[in-house]
Amino acid sequence: MTAEFTPLDRSSAAAQAMRQIQEMIVDGRLAAGQRLPAERELSEMLQISRPTLRETIRSLVSLNILESRHGSGTYVAALDTKTLLEPLQFVMSLSVRTVDELFEARLLIEPALAALAAARADAAQVAVMRAVLDNPDRVATDVALHRLVADAAGNAVLAALLQTLSTLGQASRALTATRPGMLRRTAAEHRAIVDAIDRRDPDAARAAMTEHLERVAAEARRTMA
């Protein structure tokens, strides 16, 4: 079986490569136990540098999504991404405690990602963020914007951690979206985050993301009370 990889934009290429490989595992284009192409071939397929590819592979190995076999190559782990996440999804079944823990984790990671994005995002990445803000589907906008901020931060490991948290937080997103005025306030907070990134103001981006997450966490607690 030959898997076809899509060339990537060089900006935040490691995070994009991680996402593409994970998606290919989930949809069956890469099978458990399958060997990835050799480093030179795979870097050419993705059109990224070999050091960037090595960073991607190391991150996926650390997440137990890929296995590195000395002298043999890199292989898809025996468990696919969905199976790997099932124990975490079980642990994170909604309760006040687990929602608190989810947002505690997000508050440790996402304000830092927003600050990094303000320092590193290019004009094209900011333009994509602004375009996403115009999507009338506010829940989809929320998921997409947080991912775009993580990509713009340029740290594949943190982006992968956020992707896991996003998967675990799908139920809480659906829950808080029903709160009166929630979507309007969220839209304003999203715009404040993007504005701070656009101004290249890491402190303001960190503060805007923190304010947003703290309010959403409070709404989630009230919804479950």
pLDDT tens profile 3-37: 666 665 544 566 677 777 877 776 678 888 899 99
Which DSSP string do the residues of 149-206 spell out, in sequence order? HHHHHT-HHHHHHHHHHHHHTHHHHHHHTTSTTHHHHHHHHHHHHHHHHHTT-HHHHH
In terms of Cα–Cα distance, which of 78, 60, 105 is closest to 217? 105
Each residue of 67-111: pLDDT tens digit?
A: 888 888 999 887 655 555 554 554 445 566 777 888 999 999 999
